[in-house]
Amino acid sequence: MVAQGFTDQGETKADNLLAGEFPRVSILATISGGKFERGTVLGLRDGTINDGRYTISTSAPEAILAEAVDASTEDKKAVIYLTGEFNKAALVAKVDIDELINKLRAKSIFVKENQPY
């Protein structure tokens, strides 16, 4: 029931990707090679900054995808986080996140388990 004088604005769902106050640095980057969900752990496509394109990473994580993007047919621009604190349950990777935690920490990306997803 909607109270008189108010309109129903719909529902909201909590965004559980962000898990703390460590400063987040974000940039607009080129994403390549698939359809990715918000929270995907990304690495540089050829392992070097020279290519400048990011894709899902299994061994050399560099960033966290800040928004869903479909780059399966062509490269797309999307925002990525280079630093920050993120909820482990909201991260997406091809391998177990535990295998990437130390590599992410070296990039000032901190994985926390303080929120359910």
Question: Beta-strand (E) ranges in 11-52?
Answer: 26-31, 34-36, 41-44
Considering the domain boundaries, does residue 63 fall inside one? yes
Considering the domain boundaries, does residue 89 fall inside one? yes
Residue 74: closest CA among 25, 32, 105, 35? 32
Considering the domain boundaries, does residue 66 fall inside one? yes
The domain in which residue 65 lies consists of 26-108
Residue 42: closest CA among 31, 27, 50? 31
The CATH code of the domain that includes 41 is: 2.40.300.10
Per-residue pLDDT tens over the stretch 62-111? 999 999 999 999 999 999 999 999 999 999 999 999 999 999 999 999 99
Considering the domain boundaries, does residue 8 fall inside one? no
Considering the domain boundaries, does residue 4 fall inside one? no
Query: Does the structure show a pLDDT above 70 at 115?
Result: no
Considering the domain boundaries, does residue 17 fall inside one? no
Query: What's the DSSP call for residue 48?
Result: S
Instruction: State the total domains in the chain.
Output: 1
